């Protein structure tokens, strides 16, 4: 059996606040689950992040207070926390008096980054890269993803009347099903799969209903014979394995939106492939796109170190 952890990045609404919407799943066989969980927790412990959730977007921001503290990198973790807290309290008190909107936003930003303030910017980069490298080295894991360019997505040309989120979910389900079917044929034993999602009430309802339909009628691309049940929704705060998909969707979105390839190169190694063609990850955009995802789909320009 395979567990496929699913998460998203960007907003499915048009235009929303991102040019792309990315939905991704990382599938691992259950007999490797313990190793994966241990790998991630070991890295978290190394950076004293064992009780923190991995929110890549928040981890990889510059925290201005850290730059204001002299010799920040030479301080102990406890000293760093104390010094940052001091500056943050001063800032909040000032904002509270002057600007209630900025006060609320700043308070939220501080809350989201609170678990990471003992690490310098470079340490936080190193942490995320270590997680990404580890995922990239899990030869048994498979990455499935749909990266939709919202400028290219035209609802009026969409004959099946799907919205962005539905298209992305149907693609992930179909590709995971295909992977399970092929893996089962090769091993001459039937492998099942299950989707595990980061909990979000709106998505939970939508994806549960979509999955029920797929079980009855199949997706547009395939019957569903190997994926069981509707997705399970878990609290990402409590489950390290769902948090690793956050790193993957972050890496994919930064790549398709800004051409940043550091994290992408690590995790793209795990994209599901048929021979040398990437079949598990798609960039839904204009035909002339020459990015690594698009060119790996068409068998051109495959960079050797992207092969599994
Ligand atoms: Zn592309």
List, for residues 197-253, the tens digit of each pLDDT value.
988 888 899 999 999 999 999 999 999 999 999 999 999 888 889 999 999 999 999
Q: Tell how far the Cα of 203 is from the centroid of ligand 1, in angstroms.
A: 26
CA–centroid distance, residue 251 to ligand 1 (Å)? 14
Per-residue model confidence (pLDDT) at position 155? 74
Q: Record the tokens describing residue 223, joined without a space.
A: 């019957």
pLDDT > 70 fraction of the chain, expressed in percent and rounded:
96
CA-to-CA distance for 228 and 173, rounded, in angstroms?
Answer: 11
According to DSSP, the residues that pair with 271 across neighbouring strands are: 143
**From ligand 1's centre to the CA of 165, what distance in Å?**
19
Distance from residue 143's CA to the centre of ligand 1 (Å): 16
CA distances from 45 to 38, 66, 130 (A): 10, 22, 12
Using the mean position of ligand 1's atoms as its centre, give its distance from the Cα of residue 60 in Å.
24
Tokens found for residue 234: 């878990």
Question: What's the gap in Å between 150 CA and the centre of ligand 1?
Answer: 13
Report the separation in Å between the CA atom of 120 and the middle of ligand 1, taken as the mean of its atom positions: 33
Q: What integer pLDDT is reported at residue 298 of this predicted model?
A: 64
What is the Å distance from ligand 1's center to 156 Cα?
Answer: 22
- The structure's pTM equals 0.93
Residue 11 reports pLDDT greater than 90: no
- Structural contact between residues 4 and 176, judged by C-beta atoms closer than 8 angstroms: yes
pLDDT (tens digit, 9 = 90+) per residue, 238-297?
888 999 999 999 999 999 999 999 999 999 999 999 988 999 999 999 888 999 999 997
259 CA to centre of ligand 1 in angstroms: 10
Distance 295 CA to ligand 1 centre (A): 7
Domain parsing of the chain, residue ranges: 2-43+139-154+169-295, 64-116
CA of 283 from ligand 1 middle (Å) equals 5
The rounded Å distance from CA 256 to ligand 1 centre is 7
- The alpha carbon of residue 108 and the mean position of all alpha carbons in its chain are separated, in whole angstroms, by 22
231 CA to middle of ligand 1, Å? Answer: 28
What number of other Cβ atoms are within 10 A of residue 108's Cβ? 10
How large is the angle between the packed helices 240-258 and 33-46, nearest 10 degrees? 80
2-43+139-154+169-295 CATH pick, 1.10.530, 3.30.420, 3.90.1720, 3.40.50: 3.30.420
Instruction: Tell how far the Cα of 90 is from the centroid of ligand 1, in angstroms.
Output: 45
Output the CA 293–ligand 1 centroid distance in Å.
5
pLDDT in tens, 135-192: 999 999 999 999 999 988 887 777 778 899 999 999 999 999 999 999 999 999 999 9
Distance, in Å, from the CA atom of 71 to the CA atom of 84, rounded to the nearest integer, reads 13
pLDDT for the residue 287: 85
Closest CA to 1 of 33, 24, 41: 33
Query: Is the distance from CB of 242 to CB of 196 less than 8 angstroms?
Result: yes
- pLDDT reported for residue 275: 87
Number of residues in the chain: 308
Distance 208 CA to ligand 1 centre (A): 29
Distance 155 CA to ligand 1 centre (A): 20
């Amino acid at each position: 059996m395979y567990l496929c952890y699913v998460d998203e990045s960007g907003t499915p609404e048009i235009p929303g606040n991102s040019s792309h919407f990315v939905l991704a799943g990382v599938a691992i066989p259950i007999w490797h689950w313990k190793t994966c969980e241990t790998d991630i927790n070991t890295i978290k412990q190394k950076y004293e992040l064992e009780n923190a959730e991995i929110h890549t977007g928040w981890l990889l921001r510059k925290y201005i207070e850290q730059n204001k503290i002299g010799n920040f990198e030479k301080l102990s973790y406890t000293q760093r926390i104390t010094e940052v807290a001091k500056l943050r309290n001063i800032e909040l008190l000032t904002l509270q008096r002057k600007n209630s909107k900025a006060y609320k936003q700043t308070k939220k930003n501080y809350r989201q980054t609170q678990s990471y303030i003992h690490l310098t910017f470079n340490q936080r980069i190193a942490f995320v890269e270590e997680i990404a490298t580890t995922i990239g080295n899990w030869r048994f894991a498979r990455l499935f993803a749909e990266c939709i360019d919202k400028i290219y997505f035209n609802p009026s040309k969409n004959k099946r009347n799907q919205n962005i989120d539905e298209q992305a979910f149907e693609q992930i389900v179909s590709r995971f099903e295909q992977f399970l079917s092929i893996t089962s044929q090769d091993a001459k034993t039937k492998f099942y799969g299950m989707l595990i999602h980061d909990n979000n009430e709106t998505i939970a309802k939508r994806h549960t209903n979509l999955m029920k339909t797929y079980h009855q009628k199949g997706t547009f691309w395939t019957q569903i014979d190997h994926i069981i049940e509707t997705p399970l929704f878990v609290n990402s705060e409590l489950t390290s394995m769902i948090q690793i998909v956050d790193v993957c969707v972050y890496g994919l979105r930064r790549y398709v939106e800004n051409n940043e390839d550091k994290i992408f190169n690590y995790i793209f190694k795990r994209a599901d492939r048929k021979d040398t063609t990437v079949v598990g990850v798609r960039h839904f955009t204009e035909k002339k796109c020459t990015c690594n995802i698009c060119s790996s789909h068409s068998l051109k320009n495959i960079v050797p170190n992207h092969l599994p």
